[in-house]
Amino acid sequence: MTVVGVVGAGIMGAGVAQNLAQSGHAVRLVDISADAVASALERIELNCRMSRMLGGPAVDAGEVLAAITAGTGLDLLADAEVVIENIPEDESLKHELYRRLDAVCQPGCVFVANTSAIPITRIGSWTGRPEQVVGVHFMNPVPMKPAVELIPGHHSSAQALATVRELLASMDKKPIDVNDSCGFISNRVSHVFMNEAAYLVYEGVATAEAVDEVFRSCFGHPMGPLETLDLIGVDTVLQSIEVLHEHFADSKYRPCPLLKQMVDAGLLGRKSGEGFYRHGPDSRGPADRAGRNGHLAAVRSGSEN
Q: Interface residues with ligand NAD (CB under 6 A)?
A: 7-13, 30-33, 36, 86-89, 93, 97, 114-116, 137-138, 140, 232-233, 236, 240, 271
| Of residues 36 and 67, the one with the C-beta less far from ligand NAD | 36
CB 87, min distance to ligand NAD, A: 4
What's the CA gap between 126 and 289, in Å, rounded? 45
Known catalytic residue at 137: yes
CB 117, min distance to ligand NAD, A: 7
| Of residues 8 and 124, the one with the C-beta less far from ligand NAD | 8
CB 293, min distance to ligand NAD, A: 27
| Of residues 87 and 164, the one with the C-beta less far from ligand NAD | 87
CB 298, min distance to ligand NAD, A: 24
Report which residue's Cβ sits closest to ligand NAD: 10
Of 137, 191, 245, 279, catalytic = 137
| Of residues 36 and 112, the one with the C-beta less far from ligand NAD | 36
Which residues belong to the active site?
137
